[in-house]
Amino acid sequence: MSTEAVIVDVIRTPVGRGKPGGILSGVHPVDLLAGVLDTLVNRNDLDPGLIDDVIGGCVSQIGEQSYNITRNAVLAAGFPEHVPGTTIDRQCGSSQQAATFAAQAVLAGQADIVIACGVESMSRVRLGSSAAGADPYGSRIRNRYPDGLVNQGVSAELIAAKWGFDRDELDAFAARSHALAAAAQESGAFASEVVPVPGVDSLTDETVRPGTSAESLGGLNAAFRTDDLAERFPELDWRITPGNSSPLTDGASAALIMSAERAEQLGLTPRARFRAFSVVGSDPLYMLTGVIPATEKVLSRAGLGHDDIDAYEVNEAFASVPLAWLADTGADAAKLNPRGGAIALGHALGSSGTRLLTTLVNQLEATGGRYGLQTMCEGGGMANATVIERI
């Protein structure tokens, strides 16, 4: 059996605003993902017929993203018909889980070459539309949580209140995200990871707003307050706004994962190896806090400490999430999302996991860092974490 799963390449599309008129809103999500798959094999001169599986993440699996969008993208990319594809949903961590499943298949000796990928077109398939107006929970969950579960924005509010983050701290973190992402754009740091989308002229991430300041964000209103929620949670003063949250986004991303032996046989140079994985469940009311135990679990499995990690990618679903993560882990804030995070670069749900992996690999290469850790909070109270090692 193989003893090492390596990352040969990682790529992503530019980020588009997840609303009509965004740069990717005119592209069918199957075509968006197919373009990334096609580019990935072409730029590595890989015969797609050698691929054992394609595992993709997508959250809103309805309409244009239904009927196993990953398999449809495999066919749309022109891969041989014998190459399979499957679509998974671990909410925001779907494509990070796809990468974990791909690496685990390689480590188990059940596959030699797997593509992990993800896509979400939030401009074309509305967030929450997959419920189709039905009850996604059922009576037994309602009995377990009689007061009712809440949306992620309210969870972010509960986290901000519990950890004591005021509005200024949240907005300052959001401004930091835009400043770092804008600097990365300006320096060309994203040039090696962002690939063209057929029919789209731009290679620039559309959601980054250079010049954003905490002061400019301070005038935005709370996004998730309702009278009913305010009555239920009187302790909240409603600090989460569109400015300190990740925006709705379109995007696709992919990682080429294989055994070290297969890479050598094909004359391909690995860029990183997987060191450890973790996945945890957490309180579904505070559903975004799983990144904290997931981080400690994956570090323990890797036999590493925070001092060993050179860069972190912690998904910025809301500013309160990475701030709580920093507070509880004691990690070095300077190593956190050094090229900006989802508040600036967007959160195309099914694509975000492999988008973070793409940025993390490139950050380690640019700085000469050895170890990187990524972690992603997820709807329903879960989180994934992954440690990679640059080769």
Q: Which residues are catalytic?
A: 92, 347, 377
Please state, in angstroms and rounded to a whole number, the distance separating the CA atoms of residues 14 and 349.
14
The token pair that represents 112 in the structure block: 């030699």
Between CA 360 and CA 382 the distance in angstroms is 21
Rounded to the nearest 10 degrees, how much is the dihedral formed by the CA atoms of 294, 367, 55, 42?
Answer: 180
Amino acid at site 272: A
What radius of gyration do the chain's Cα atoms show? 20
Number of Cβ within a 10 Å radius of residue 198: 11
CA pair distance 70, 277, nearest whole angstrom? 23
Give 85's strand partners.
Answer: 54
The tokens of 127 are what? 């967030």
What is the sign of the dihedral through the CA atoms of 58, 132, 149 and 164?
positive
Q: Which two tokens stand for residue 157?
A: 């509010």
CA atoms within 13 A on the CB side of 21: 1
Burial of 285 (0-12, 13-18, 19+ CB in 10 A): middle
* Residue from 153, 142, 145 nearest 224 by CA: 153
CB count within 10 Å of CB 70 equals 27
C-alpha 333: how far from its chain's center? 19
CB 91 within 8 A of CB 349: yes
